[in-house]
Structure 1
């Protein structure tokens, strides 16, 4: 089941729905770095391809982080 969170990106409120497993990777990053959800999602948003949905970009980011942590 998807979990939805609200975030403000560049002054615009939006919501992002991801599976709990992806949120747990994002939360781990925020706990480790002390960063904010809005800051992380903004950086993911800035790096994604123009036609890539934000939720997809967040899933790919979380997968890459999980793979990096598992290998490191």
Structure 2
């Protein structure tokens, strides 16, 4: 892995049949890829699920922020499970 201090990289994803782009730092892209592999789903499907959860929030963050928050919450859940 390269330095965690890298500017965001924009990538396209497809959610509910439409394409959008998300800008995430490479560290978060790596974490998202790993999470999708762990759950045996494509990255697009995982991002779509995060998007549904995000939209249901009282004050929904942007999609990139929601992905980062979801990944951190996942890490915290794993740490508490140990």
TM-score (normalizing by structure 1): 0.85
Partner of 1:70: 79
**Unmatched tracts of structure 2, length 5 or more:** 1-6
Whether 2:16 is the aligned partner of 1:7: answer: no
Partner of 1:55: 64
Q: Following the alignment from structure 2 to structure 1, what is the Cα–Cα distance between the partners of residues 65 and 13?
A: 16
Partner of 1:23: 29
TM-score (normalizing by structure 2): 0.76
* Greater percentage in helix: 1
Secondary structure of the residue aligned to 1:41 is helix
Q: Structure 1 segments of 4 or more deviating over 3 A?
A: none
Query: Aligned pairs, how many?
Result: 72
Larger Rg: 2
Secondary structure of the residue aligned to 2:76 is helix
Partner of 2:43: 37
